[in-house]
A and B are shown apart, each in its own frame.
Chain A
Amino acid sequence: MSNQEKEPILSAKNLKLLTEPLGRNNPITVQVLGICSALAVTVKLKPALVMALSVMIVTGFSNLIIASLRKFIPDRIRIIVQLVVIATMVILVDQFLKAYVFDVSKQLSVFVGLIITNCIIMGRLEAFAMANKPWPSFLDGIGNGAGYGLILVIVAFFRELLGSGTIFGYPVLERLGIYGTGYENNGMTILPPMALIIVGLIIWVQRSRDKSLVEKK
């Protein structure tokens, strides 16, 4: 990596690239991108986690590739080049999932392919990788992928717990004997609208804790 210059590999500035998207600049809750897939793959934790990792890999490496090529990419066809890189990464990830985690790839079905259309990735390529060095771009990609993944996992946690009574497939509520008190799984949480409501609640919590995110009137 081209980091022998003055900056240490994980300088404060670089670390910020990694942590900002997890909170203050989260792609889902602050930039409100990638909502569609966040609704679709968060019924259970396991697919959500695999989706999160897949998006992290795609954002990280496509940022890295685009940033390394940024001086050679003709401006006029840069969007096409970005799409080709993203599509290639996504197809590779999809093929690997089909070969090694078949069950999960079955559950994610088309949504792995649809990572290509996830605005977060192209947004990062345009906004960051085209103008920055490879290493910071890679961190930025991983950070944004992780920020997306974090919300996915939080949403999936609540949806799986309330909708199916399990966590990672383990029947927690049954073991705790909650059903004995007359509680029943909430079928509504399995459906996409509930994911939107949970995302909304997360945005609410985040904004009430960090006033600087609230728009001025």
Chain B
Amino acid sequence: MKHFSNRYIFIFSAIMVIVVATLLSLAATLLQPAQARNLEIEKKRNMLESINVEATRENTEELYEKFIKEGFVINPDGDVVEGIDAFTVVVKNEQKKPIEQQYLPVFRAEPDDGENVIIVPVEGKGLWGPIYGYVSLKSDMNTIYGTNFDHKSETPGLGAEINTTEFESQFKGKKIYENGGFTSVQVIKGGAKENDPHGVDAISGGTITSKGLQKMIFDCLTKYNGYFQKNRI
């Protein structure tokens, strides 16, 4: 093996780093628009799923235009805050602020069956990482119309089951209020009773994810209490 001087090694490393850095930043900049679009479509698709509309990547935009009528931001008192685009609000960042400063996004949708529903984003912690999704409510602000959940890194076959239709569809028709008091929905280990208006079956082997999901729904929806009280029909 040929001997290289220290000087050569330094120059070699410097050139290598510059070339690599240029290449990577170029790739990141050029691909950024496509990646951002993917995230946007993903978000819209999840929202559509929460009102029980199955969208593919291709028709997401079209269906979103058709069903989701408007988005607005409210404060924890339930009053609309003007001048903020609900779609760009990042729930995770809002959750770090003190409660009275948080912006809470609400989306209004009109599905084909004539219901007038609202969609609210939820975000919390599972076992290994964040879990998130959307919950849609009928205009009584009490009955769940549909849900969509997703996760970053829950265990496949166990906690990851929260994003299956079988799990999500259990929430349909469940009530989040009992005699005017906020109760949210409980995820019950061993299975909820058949007529339980507030309970769904937990995932076997996914206890911590299930518990996290229950806490996520409770924590997020309870902030909307003011809004729900004022706007129920």
* Interface, chain A (partner B; CB < 8 A): 43, 71-77, 80-81, 84, 88, 91-92, 95-96, 98-100, 102-103, 109-110, 163, 187, 190-191
Contacts and interface: CB of A to CB of B under 8 A. Distances in A.
Contacts, number: 58
B89 to A, nearest CB: 22
A37 B41 CA distance: 29
Contact of A76 (B4, B17, B35): B4
Interface stretch (B23-31, B179-187, B212-220): B23-31
Contact of B28 (A77, A80, A95, A187): A95
Nearest to B42: A102
Contacts of A187: 157
B206 to A, nearest CB: 12
Nearest to A163: B157
B20 interface: yes
Given A77-B13, A98-B38, A100-B34, A84 B157 contact: no
A44 B2 CA distance: 48
Interface in B1-33: 1-2, 4, 8-9, 12-13, 16-17, 20, 23-24, 27-28, 31
A71 B4 CA distance: 11
B156 interface: yes
A161 to B, nearest CB: 15
Q: Is the interface of B mostly helix, strand, loop or mixed?
A: helix
Give chain B's interface residue range (CB within 8 Å of chain A). 20 to 34
B4 A75 contact: yes
Given A74-B4, A88-B24, A102-B38, A95 B9 contact: no
B4 A95 contact: no
Main secondary structure of the interface of A (DSSP, over half): helix
A96 B27 CA distance: 9
A191 B160 CA distance: 12
B42 A99 contact: no
Nearest to A92: B27
B156 A75 contact: no
Interface string B157-181: 1000000000000000000000000
A77 B153 CA distance: 36
Contacts of B153: 109-110
B38 to A, nearest CB: 4
B16 A72 contact: no
Contact of A74 (B12, B24, B152): B12
Contacts of B12: 72-74, 77, 81
A41 to B, nearest CB: 10
| Residue from B31, B41, B42 having most chain A Cβ neighbours under 10 A | B31
B198 to A, nearest CB: 28
Contacts of A84: 16-17, 20
